[in-house]
Structure 1
């Protein structure tokens, strides 16, 4: 079983269902560590593991500074090669986690503790998360109210997935899009005439950017440089606003025409194609100059547009005429008009560019065009007013307005003279249109395994997880306190950036030393590398309070209270905060046992104390929390405590 399959099965059996994930895989115990590799880049941390015929080189390299620093991006990568030949090992799907490092005991003890943590991460127990999960993803659910729910699909809580965070927006959302590196999310808010910019690492709104009149559709162009927003405004305010994807500043506004706007791009990002629904025109825009080149007559009610990199052409669907117009991507002229039936609406192009699918809501059909020759090759009956399309690697998912069913069209069965294979499953028991007004954002999104999907049913306020090949969803997540409308994933997994090199970029939330755990299933291997991050002075401005522990090191014994003392200090002015009433300390035995929490007492002005008690020996961690000062486990410094067995004298008196 591959790691990717394991993750998919873990989701299928544990996400949003009652019961536990099951046992973690058996972890390898013997690691042979070769001497660290030579560090030839300033600030880079590297190490090497040689075992079972494999060489694994670990590297952590600063991206935004000269040294690995809290709050800044760090490139984490594993280079896996064959020991004998030096050939890269491709397609192995390693799993990795980054967490607070152990400061006590010998190296063997640290590895065991880190390995124990990995077993718990895989079980998906509530409250036991690594600081950064480098494998999985979060499901973001767009709500009807001004919020986005962030769901951790690997955490099981009384049969329901844990809501990891709630992102509060300024106004209700309409559509959203990810940046190319998936580190940023852009969310349109028509009532506010703004786009919310969300840090997808920390799930926080960082900016609310003016985005023209009535911003609706949001699309990031293929090269990631610009964010395009469709403005459903009146008169000259109807068109597209263009934002720089890094600075978030507006770089242009282009008036295009009347009505709602859909947006697509050539694969090289040279041209943008913008529909004008009420004008019956398609505007072609030169992206480099941000100028409209021409308007093409493509119908009377232009509803959608998609671009095929394979055919080098844009395909435009018109609802009134029932035509699909093909625009040559090089000459920018109409090269063909394909006549179908009135009622054409959503149009999507398969990821490989081969198939163009257009849903006909009135006729309950999906039209299939072969982009290789611009010929209609299939007309597939899909009941329930099909209105949304999305793709996985092997299937087209079709959603109907008046049915709870989701239809799956097998892409390999499409083509001239072939009979398409269509299966379906129920995503709930209510039709989506019963929910009333729906946003532009898709109610369906494929998972990172590309063989599964998440489907939101707005009518029953539930998000369903479906694995391809099954007859029904494997599990579901009910939105409590919010009305779910759409779903999107934030992928945190390692990606193979070159043969045998698996990499991701992370933003370390705090400074200190960290364990980076790596797991392979063939050969069965778990190993923990180490790295550290320097303190970032710019993150500790005057007025932003931090924790300063009084003792350099702490130790304790089972059965004996141990005093943990700390101050709350402004790192810039060095002011000590007095009179805090809501400070508390949470502590637990590594990796995540015997969690306890106690309120801190101010024993003298500005000095706070908690008496820690320990049930068993081992490594313990303590974190300070002060809600009134926004200090929590995510941003607080930690204290490691070495706890020994009961002292002899104490034991004899019992």
Structure 2
């Protein structure tokens, strides 16, 4: 994990926690404050904004790309980037751009395929000049090495880690190479506690089910915020992508239906009757057919996934708690809590075998290759290996401590045990049909991951993109553990920033080949201007080169996150330690009484004031603070969850002096409100 992690993404500010992320104590405190004042609280059930229909953040057309070229070691690289939200820049908001890098042979013009370019963008200082080759090599070395002092404006390499937390929030965490550290890039407030999630194409958005609100919420991973929500059925839990994730099927446990969501239109396309109880969903035949079970129904339904037509019903019995499907074996396995593993032939749509197993909850999944399925039974403490070619269980491992989830890499099966502080691993190199798989147990934290947590259907483990490792969420330790195969202990231990992660997901943010020799990826920035674009390509012809890339600054406009507040105090004038000071501001938009919250706190830790600003009439509000010590302070004013979107706020950075002697100047943020 260490060698494939990446350096700090945010250069100047983070969307939710902005510049506080590096100061861990204040990160945790501010995140907690957001939770209790509405930043991460449940919204009013009547407020359910619909998902936006378009992927862009504004109606403006994308800015025209400007292509630049450079040749190094016999390869010609052409770079261009364009903002996807038009030629305007939302004040204080991250903007999403799309990068495009084409690589050709300089002599023949032949497209260079199968590469994995690494790209970093560094904002050029005013008056700066283009980098020479030596300066470029040094810049690439500092970014690739993950040095904390090297902070690119944007990164197109490596991955982000998403954690679905016990509280109604989702953490977006950036791993780092140096010191195996991480950075909390964004803390996204969800409209309620989540049950499951699924990723949109390219992982730029994730859709999260919120059972208590009867909706799914879309989280924009690049911008680090909830883009909107969509009403579905009663008590949605499972959400499963179909094929290439152009649509999602949502199981509504409360009303016995499945909602089909169009991922491109961000709209509900169909509602299908599936049966009462908990829904499980798998797709077979390349995503053309959907199999849906319902725990209180005797039958499992088969749908044409494209048109929603009911094709067949298969009598499997009540109590199905887990499903797994294999296209290679043309088979579905249904695990019943009554103590039975039901084998269904996909072609004939008929039950071919019923295998007795222990009663209770279960998790089942097919390993890569589609022949062997692994069934973990929590209460019985056993793991079975089912061979699809023989239609029977061929291996059983007992005396495990409440195994509840299985996940795979190319070479290993990982089994989490709720009652153990160890992670169990089984090798896939042998043939389980003829010999028992070898069990290896590695340490996982200080305590067992079992706790008083709400049920979660999302996977608590995620394989690393490069293979050969696994990332595991540990809600009791409030930690994410990274494992590399062959190591008997975690190679990386990443804090979850005071939260209990119940599930984890990895989003690849590197460039991907969309056509021969052309590589693209979305990325985020907080502004345009001239940037040094550092490119590194490994392979037979190694390349380290820097280009000059320009992105239009555009015309500033108030964006979705802007909150209209006019400070009636001078942000550049320092307050006096130990002296009460009243800070007044005027709202430029109407708001209900007591619909504001304010936080005044010292960076990184120290004096804290929080509360409701006092209304003085004529849209003027005031707070009175008495900072105890000199230093740098931050004032944040925002509407509560019933008064507007969760992430709208205004922020000022203020200096506080000791008596007559100025101790610390105000930061550059002290010249006015930052939205």
* Both proteins in one fold, TM over 0.5: yes
Asked if 1:487 is matched to 2:504, the reply is: yes
Tell me: CA distance 1:534–1:105, structure 2 relative to 1, closer, same or farther (3 Å).
closer
Instruction: Report deviation, 1:415.
Output: 3.6
RMSD value over aligned CA atoms?
Answer: 4.1
Cα deviations by residue, 1:211-261 (Å, 9 ceiling, x for unpaired): 22111112221122222221111xxx2221222212322222222112111
Aligned to 1:135: 157
Would you say 1:470 and 2:493 are equivalent positions?
no
Contact 2:2–2:177 under 8 Å retained in 1: no
RCO higher in 1 or 2 (8 Å CA, sep ≥ 6)?
2
Q: C-alpha distance in 1, partners of 2:672/2:125?
A: 29
> Which residue is equivalent to 2:415?
398
Q: Does the CA contact (< 8 Å) of 2:421 and 2:447 recur in 1?
A: yes
Q: Aligned equivalents of 1:542 and 1:491: distance in 2?
A: 27
- Tell me how far apart the structure 1 counterparts of residues 529 and 71 of structure 2 sit (CA, whole Å): 27
Alpha-carbon distance in 2 for matches of 1:290, 1:626: 57
Partner of 1:349: 366
Q: Which residue of 2 aligns with 1:214?
A: 235
- Counterpart of 1:200 in structure 2 is 221
- Is 1:290 aligned with 2:287? no
Choose 215-224 or 159-168, whichever is displaced more.
159-168
**Contact 2:166–2:454 (CA under 8 A) maintained in structure 1:** no
Superposed, which structure 2 residues align to 1:437-456 within 5 Å?
A: 437-456=454-473
- Alignment match of 1:425 (pick from 428, 433, 442): 442
2:118 corresponds to which residue?
A: 95
Deviation at 1:490, TM superposition (A): 2.1
Asked whether 1:339 is paired with 2:355, we answer yes
- In structure 2, C-alpha distance between the alignment counterparts of 1:434 and 1:378, rounded to whole Å: 30
Higher mean C-alpha deviation, range 84-93 or range 439-448 = 84-93
User: Is residue 2:28 matched to residue 1:7?
Assistant: no
Match for 1:118 among 125, 131, 140?
Answer: 140
- Aligned partners of 2:671 and 2:307: how far apart in 1? 49
Q: Deviations over 1:241-285 (max 9, x none)?
A: 222212322222222112111111125322211111122431212
1:531-550 residue pairs with structure 2 within 5 A? 531-535=549-553, 540=558
- Which residue number corresponds to residue 646 of structure 1? none
In structure 1, C-alpha distance between the alignment counterparts of 2:341 and 2:96, rounded to whole Å: 48
2:284 touches 2:325 (CA, 8 Å); kept in 1? Answer: yes
Contact 1:444 1:486 in 2 (8 A): yes
SS in 2 for 1:388: strand
> Which residue in the other structure is 1:150 paired with?
172
Matched, 1:299 2:321: no
2:238 paired with 1:238? no
Determine which of 313, 335, 360 is the counterpart of 2:331. Answer: 313
User: Could you tell me whether the CA contact under 8 Å between 1:514 and 1:531 is conserved in 2?
Assistant: yes
| Paired residue total | 531
* Partner in structure 1 of residue 585 of structure 2: none
Give the Å deviation of 1:627.
Answer: 10
Shift of 1:536: 5.1
Counterparts of 1:441 and 1:412, CA distance in 2: 27
Q: CA deviation at 1:295?
A: 2.5
| Aligned residues of 1:126 and 1:162 also touching (Cα < 8 A) | no
Instruction: State the shift of 1:539 in Å.
Output: 5.4
Q: Following the alignment from structure 2 to structure 1, what is the Cα–Cα distance between the partners of residues 158 and 295?
A: 39
Question: Using the alignment, how far apart are the partners of 2:65 and 2:88 within structure 1?
Answer: 8
What is the deviation of 1:471? 0.3
Residues 1:170 and 2:191 are matched in the alignment: yes
Change in Cα spacing, 1:82 to 1:415, as seen in structure 2 (3 Å) is farther
Give SS of 2:4's match: helix
- Conserved 8 A contact 2:136-2:544: no
1:412-461: per-residue Cα shift (whole Å, max 9, x none)?
Answer: 22342133122221211322223444422221111222222211122222
What CA distance in whole angstroms lies between the structure 2 residues aligned with 1:485 and 1:348?
19
CA separation of 1:418/1:46 partners in 2, compared to 1, >3 Å: closer, same or farther?
A: farther
Query: Does the aligned pair in 2 maintain the 1:8–1:449 contact within 8 Å?
Result: no
For residues 131-165 of structure 1, the C-alpha deviation after alignment (integer angstroms, 9 at most, x for no partner) is: 321112221221111111222111768x8533222
Q: Which runs of 5+ in 2 are unaligned?
A: 9-21, 23-62, 565-587, 589-599, 601-630, 635-651, 655-666
3-state SS, counterpart of residue 451 of structure 2: helix
Q: 1:360 is matched with which residue?
A: 377
Do the aligned partners of 1:126 and 1:155 also contact (CA within 8 Å) in 2?
A: no
Distance 1:422 1:50 in 2: 51
| 1:484-506 deviation per Cα after TM superposition (whole angstroms, max 9, x unaligned) | 22211222122344565443233
1:273 is aligned to 291
**In structure 2, do the counterparts of structure 1 residues 521 and 288 end up closer, same or farther at CA, with 3 Å as the change threshold?**
closer
Distance 1:410 1:49, change over 3 A: farther
| Structure 1 residue 185: Cα displacement | 0.8
- Residue 176 and residue 229 in structure 1: after superposition, are their counterparts in 2 closer, same or farther (change >3 A)? same
In the alignment, what sits opposite 2:206? 185
**Alignment match, 2:477:** 460
CA 409–521 in structure 1, closer or farther in 2 if over 3 Å, else same? same
Q: 2-side partners of 1:60 and 1:10: how far apart?
A: 21
Would you say the 8 A contact 1:495–1:504 is kept in 2? yes
Distance between the aligned counterparts of 1:475 and 1:428, measured in 2? 11
Task: Describe the shift of the 1:368–1:537 C-alpha distance in structure 2 as closer, same or farther (beyond 3 A).
Answer: farther
C-alpha deviation, 1:98, in angstroms: 2.3
Of 341, 364, 369, the residue aligned with 1:323 is 341
* 2-structure distance, mates of 1:597, 1:530: 36
Quickly say closer, same or farther: Cα 1:106–1:483, change in 2 above 3 A: closer
Contact 1:174 1:216 in 2 (8 A): yes
1:523-560 deviation line (CA, Å, top 9, x unaligned): 554211233233555955699599xxxxxxxxxxxxxx
Give 1:645's aligned residue. Answer: none
In the other structure, the counterpart of 1:30 is: none
Q: Structure 1 residues 268, 378: CA separation in 2 closer, same or farther (over 3 Å shift)?
A: same
Alpha-carbon distance change, 272 to 424 in structure 1, aligned in 2, over 3 angstroms: same
Task: With the length of structure 1 as denominator, give the TM-score of the two structures.
Answer: 0.71
* TM-score normalised by the chain length of structure 2: 0.69
Q: Which moved more, 1:519-528 or 1:204-213?
A: 519-528
